[in-house]
Amino acid sequence: MSLRSLNLSDELHRYMLDVSLRDNALLEELRAETARLDMGRMQISPEQGQLMALLVRLIDARRAIEIGVFTGYSSLLTAIALPSDGRLIACDVSEQWTAIGQRYWEKAGVADRIDLHLRPALETLEMLAAGGSPPFDFAFIDADKTNYDAYYEGCLSLLRPGGIVLIDNVLWGGSVIDPAKQDEDTKAIRALNKKLRDDDRIDLSMIPVGDGLSLCRKR
C-alpha cells in the first residue's frame, strides 16, 4: 500500500498550527472579521497563507498578481513577503469586501505595494498583456471557477520562466470526484485539473492543503 497524505483530525490540525504557524495579531484580527461574514468560508486557511508567503520569498518574487482578493488576507501575506519595492496587482470586483482588506493593508504598512484593480480580472490581464507589462514572478488564482482556465492562461502568459502560479480550490470540497456534481463550477475545476496534469509548459504539484492547491512552475 502506498503512503498517502494524512487525514488530519481536529487535534492533529491544531497541533500542526501550534508548532508551525507564525501568526500575528493583525492577521488574526483580519481572519476573525472575515469569519463573521456570510461568505467567510471563502477565506484561505492560515497554513495555506503561510505556505504562499514562503513561496514568494523562495523565488525572490518582486512582481505578483492575485485573481480574487476577497477581504485581502492572501494579498496582505503576499505583500508582506515582497521586498519594500515589490508590487502586487490585486484583482477583484467587490468594493465592499476589498475595503476590508485595504484597512489591514494600511495597518500593516504595505498598502503602497498593492495596486487594487476593481474590474473583471480578465480585463486587467488583457490590459497588462497589451501594455507590454514586465513579467511577473508569482500569481495566485482564487476567484470564480468558470473562468479558472482563462485566468490560468492569462497569468501563465505574463509569468517569467521559473515563476509560480498557485490555483486554489482544486479539490472543491470533494465535489471533483462526485459524479452527481455536474454544476459549471465543478466541471470547470475538473477540466483544469486534467489540463494541468498534461500541460508540458509547467511543473506541477497538487497539494492537499486547504481546499486543494495546485502549484505550477512555468518552465
Kindly report, residue by residue over 20-77, the tens digit of the pLDDT.
Answer: 999 999 999 999 999 999 999 999 999 999 999 999 999 999 999 999 999 999 999 9
Specify the pLDDT at position 8: 86
Averaged pLDDT score across all residues of the chain: 96
Structural domains of the chain, ranges and CATH numbers in brackets: 10-218 (3.40.50.150)
Cα 134 from Cα 50, distance rounded (Å) = 26
Do 90 and 116 contact (CB within 8 A), yes or no?
A: yes
Confidence tier at 3 by pLDDT (50, 70, 90): low
What is residue 211's predicted lDDT score, i.e. its pLDDT? 94
Say which residue the cell 497588462 belongs to. Answer: 128
Q: What is the pLDDT of residue 152?
A: 98
CB contact set of 10 (below 8 Å; sequence gap of 6+) = none
How high is the pLDDT of residue 2?
Answer: 54
Note the pLDDT of residue 95. Answer: 97
Of residues 186 and 5, more confidently modeled: 186
What per-residue confidence (pLDDT) applies to 80? 98
Q: What is the pLDDT of residues 4-25, one digit of tens each?
A: 777 889 999 999 999 999 999 9
**Per-residue pLDDT tens for 142-179?**
999 999 999 999 999 999 999 999 999 999 999 999 99
The pLDDT score that the predictor gives to residue 5 is 74
CA 95 to chain centre: 19
Region 180-204 average pLDDT = 98
What percentage of the chain has pLDDT greater than the value 90? 95
Residue 192 pLDDT exceeds 80: yes
At residue 69, the pLDDT reads 98
Phi, psi of 59 (to 5 degrees): -100, 10
Residue 197 has pLDDT above 90, yes or no: yes
